[in-house]
């Protein structure tokens, strides 16, 4: 083995070890922040005004993104299911498949990815800018708790908004799929919507709803941790924003697999 190859291998191993150490540090920091949020969430004052402001900033301003994503995603899967099922003479079952898919997977996951990309990046950039300009240190100097003042409202607001957004995405997706299905000569919108509602059980709905709660914690805690620990000026803010989008997206997709297995194991895969 040549000296250059040995050097390249050394650097690659060093880089891998550095990334593993960084991932472990981030995971530990997010866990500590989660414990701090849990302790301070019910402490007085509750800060209702800050929570309401964050609900408006996170929820209302993300509505258009969620609506467009839900409608066109549902339209696409409706077309795909209709085409594939028509090969077996079962096109009328498209509504059943679309309803369950939206409730269990597509609604919560796509909503989390869209909201995570927009809201997570916004939280990281906002708190990162405050960190590099020492505004967070100023909050501490004034005797206030930065976690209570800055993190708790954002986490609670995300926990409120994301399940509502996920539910809205499911409803809009079903009706959007019905509109596409109505373009077919032998499928009616009313039949499609009724089939989707009939096949989607409470277990399916609560499975998706439970996922959105975990996704909301993932997005808000990771964004707040990376934002509050930003260093390096404007370059650091950009780095924290990018890391937030990447990390929250990856965790959302990976955790979706394990949450699906968990919910099926505890009986949220059967019918009610």
Euclidean distance between CA atoms 116 and 51, whole angstroms: 18
Taking only the tens place, the pLDDT of each residue in 87-146 is 776 777 888 888 888 998 889 999 999 888 888 888 999 999 999 888 888 888 888 888
Phi-psi region of 241 (alpha: psi -120 to 50; beta: other; left: phi over 0): alpha
pLDDT at res. 269: 58
Are 94 and 78 in contact by the 8 Å Cβ rule? The answer is yes
pLDDT of residue 109: 92
Query: Residue 272: pLDDT band by 50, 70, 90 thresholds?
Result: very low
pLDDT at residue 60 in the model: 81
Residue tagged 């880089």 (tokens): 15
Q: Which residues fall within 8 angstroms of residue 58, CB to CB, at 6 or more apart?
A: 115, 119, 154, 157, 158, 161
pTM, rounded to two decimals:
0.84
pLDDT at 63 over 50: yes
pLDDT tens-digit profile of 224-269?
999 998 888 888 898 999 999 999 999 999 999 999 888 888 876 5
**Span of 1-15, 37-51, 187-201 with lowest mean pLDDT:** 1-15
Q: Locate tokens 């990309």: which residue?
A: 117
Mean pLDDT of 65-78: 89
Distance CA 68, CA 63 (A): 9
6 pLDDT above the threshold of 70:
no
Task: Provide the pLDDT for residue 12.
Answer: 67
Please give the pLDDT value at position 154: 92
Task: Report the pLDDT value the prediction gives residue 177, as an integer from 0 to 100.
Answer: 87
Domain range list for the chain:
47-265
Euclidean distance between CA atoms 187 and 239, whole angstroms: 49
Confidence grade of residue 153 (pLDDT, cut at 50, 70, 90): very high
Q: Give the list of residues 6+ apart from residue 252 with CB closer than 8 angstroms, or none.
A: 109, 112, 113, 116, 215, 218, 219
Q: CB burial class (10 A; 0-12, 13-18, 19+) of residue 220?
A: buried
């Amino acid at each position: 083995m040549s000296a250059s190859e040995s050097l390249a291998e050394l650097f690659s191993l060093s880089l891998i070890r550095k990334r593993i150490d960084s991932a472990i540090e981030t995971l530990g920091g997010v866990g500590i922040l989660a414990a701090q949020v849990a302790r301070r969430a019910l402490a007085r004052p509750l800060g209702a005004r800050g929570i309401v402001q964050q609900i408006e900033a996170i929820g209302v301003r993300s509505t258009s993104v969620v609506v467009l994503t839900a409608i066109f995603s549902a339209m696409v899967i409706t077309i795909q299911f209709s085409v594939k099922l028509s090969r077996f003479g079962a096109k009328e079952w498209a509504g059943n498949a679309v309803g369950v898919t939206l409730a269990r997977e597509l609604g919560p996951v796509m909503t989390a990815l869209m909201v995570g990309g927009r809201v997570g990046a916004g939280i990281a950039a906002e708190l990162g800018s405050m960190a590099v300009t020492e505004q967070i240190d100023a909050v501490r100097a004034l005797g206030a708790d930065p976690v209570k003042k800055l993190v708790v409202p954002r986490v609670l607001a995300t926990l409120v908004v994301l399940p509502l957004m996920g539910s809205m995405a499911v409803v809009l997706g079903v009706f959007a799929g019905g509109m596409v299905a109505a373009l077919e000569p032998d499928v009616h919108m009313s039949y499609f919507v009724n089939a989707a509602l009939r096949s989607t059980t409470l277990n399916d709905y609560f499975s998706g709803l439970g996922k959105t709660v975990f996704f909301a914690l993932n997005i808000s805690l990771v964004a707040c941790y990376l934002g509050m620990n930003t260093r390096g000026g404007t370059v650091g803010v950009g780095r924290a924003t990018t890391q937030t989008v990447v990390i929250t997206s990856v965790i959302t997709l990976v955790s979706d697999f394990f949450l699906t297995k968990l919910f099926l194991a505890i009986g949220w895969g059967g019918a009610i």
